[in-house]
Amino acid sequence: MYYVNREGIARRLRCIPELSEASGAIAEGWTGSLLEGLAQERCLHLALEIVTDVGNFLIDGFMMRDASSYEDIIDVIAGEGVVPPARAETLRELVALRKPLVQDYDQWPRREPNRLATELPALLRAFEEDVNAFLKRELEPWESQR
């Protein structure tokens, strides 16, 4: 184990409550307006960036196998027991949205509700719990030896 950037992880995880609140409100009151569509895009984008940033911090800090893609970040952390397989599948779907959101934004169907956007609040809260449980499980033995 190298240095685990716990502050970087914590800063990103602290974004989850507001992002969950916003995505839940957008999904609940969806009318298909342009503003809702743009807000939904941003929620999805921030969510996948949080997941991949935290995943990369974990991969670096715990010397896990290097990831070759955004989806592979999820495979690595799932393989290391950070997230359960069922959640990993949904997280893979989320991070697969990066290319359409960042590169193909001119083709994004922003007036349509995205299924993952409605799942974001629960998905992100569960991801946060998974990460915190993993950190506790992996770091407590090291910290108790100090």
**Rounded to an integer, what distance in angstroms lies between the CA atom of residue 72 and that of residue 69?**
5
CATH superfamily of 6-144: bsu32300-like (1.20.120.580)
Entry pTM: 0.94
In the chain, the percentage of residues whose pLDDT exceeds 70 is 96
CA distance 123 to 95: 13
* pLDDT over threshold 90, residue 146: no
pLDDT score, position 129:
98
3-state secondary structure of 31: coil
Q: Which of 98, 115, 137, 146 is catalytic?
A: 98
pLDDT at residue 2 in the model: 72
**Among candidates 21, 73, 24, 15, which has minimal Cα distance to 47?**
15
Annotated active-site residue 98? The verdict is yes
User: Rounded distance, CA 42 to CA 45, Å?
Assistant: 5
The answer, yes or no, to whether residue 144 has pLDDT greater than 80, is no
With bands split at pLDDT 50, 70 and 90, how would you rate the model's confidence at 5?
A: very high
Give the span between the Cα atoms of 32 and 17, in whole angstroms.
Answer: 24
Average pLDDT score over the chain: 95
The per-residue pLDDT for 140 is 84
Residue 141 pLDDT level (bands cut at 50, 70, 90): confident
Question: What's the pLDDT score for residue 1?
Answer: 57
Q: CA 18: distance to chain centroid?
A: 14
Question: What's the gap between Cα 103 and its chain centre?
Answer: 19
Residue 34 has pLDDT above 60, yes or no: yes
